[in-house]
Structure 1
Amino acid sequence: MNISPTIKTRENFISLVNDMTIDELNEIPKGFNNNIAWNFGHVIVTQQIICYKLSGQEMLVPDTLVEKYRKGTKPESPITSKELEELKVLALSTLESFKNDLLAGSFATFTEYTTSFGVTLKNISEAVEFNAIHEGMHLGYAMAQRKAVRA
């Protein structure tokens, strides 16, 4: 399984975030129901849920982040600089661990799951493929939000 597209998307997300102020990251632009900070946290948490949790593995992110960024949530409070730094570290460290766990064969079992896209994930390979698409979509949202915040 190739997770290189996901790594590149995360690197691009980090570059986008690094180019913005904390106020810009927290702003919810007109026409959106979330912000760039939420989209960044959301992709990290979602990958953990669809790859680790659905495989019966322990997730590599704290439950507090899962509760804040999982599907169905929205920004309830501004992200702090400290939390942003934590997300930037997790963005790449979780993928490095994931790559190692894939090589170790840690994802032999998988609980079938139908995404909000209507795609049913039946195994870790399908989860990796779907995750790359999901993360690309949220990076696109974040890029549109940057344009709206800076308009």
Structure 2
Amino acid sequence: MDINHIIKTRENFINLINGLSLDQINQIPKGFNNNIAWNFGHIVVTQQIICYKLSGLPLLVEDDLVEKYKKGTKPEAPISEKELENLKILALSCLENLKNDLLIGSFKEFKEYTTSFGVTLTSIKEAIEFNSIHEGMHLGYAMAQRRLVTQ
């Protein structure tokens, strides 16, 4: 399975973030219930949940990040520069780990899961395919939010 398109999406997300101030990243634009920081944290956490948790493997991110960015959450407090930098590192390192874990055959089981899109995932291959769509959607949200916070 090729995850290079996911890596490129994350690089684009990081570039978007790097062009903004911390205040802009934390701002919740009118019409949204989250911000750029939340969308970024959410893609990192969701990939871990749908690829690792559903495969019965330990997550590569801390539990507090999962609780902060999992589906159904919203920003409760501004993200710090330190947490943002940590998320940038995790965004790329988690994908390197995924690539390596795929190569060595770590994904042996998978717990079927139906997403909020109505897509049922039954394998790591399907999880990775869905993850790509999910991350593209959240990058799109962040791009729209960038337009609003830079006006």
The TM-score bracket by the shorter chain reads: over 0.9
Mapping of 1:8-87 within 5 angstroms?
Answer: 8-87=8-87
- For structure 2, the residue ranges without an aligned partner over 5 or more in a row are none
Identity %: 72
Return the offset for 1:148: 0.8
- For structure 1, the residue ranges without an aligned partner over 5 or more in a row are none
- Write the distance in 2 (CA, Å) between the matches of 1:91 and 1:124: 19
- Corresponding residue of 1:105: 105
- Write the distance in 1 (CA, Å) between the matches of 2:13 and 2:6: 10
Return the offset for 1:8: 0.3
TM-score, normalised to structure 2, is 0.99
SS at match of 1:72: coil
The question of 1:131 aligning with 2:137 is answered no
- Write the distance in 1 (CA, Å) between the matches of 2:50 and 2:102: 14
- Corresponding residue of 2:145: 145
Return the offset for 1:150: 1.3
Question: What amino acid is aligned across from residue 59 of structure 2 in structure 1?
Answer: M
- Write the distance in 1 (CA, Å) between the matches of 2:108 and 2:120: 17
Return the offset for 1:108: 1.1
User: Cα RMSD (Å) of the superposition?
Assistant: 0.4
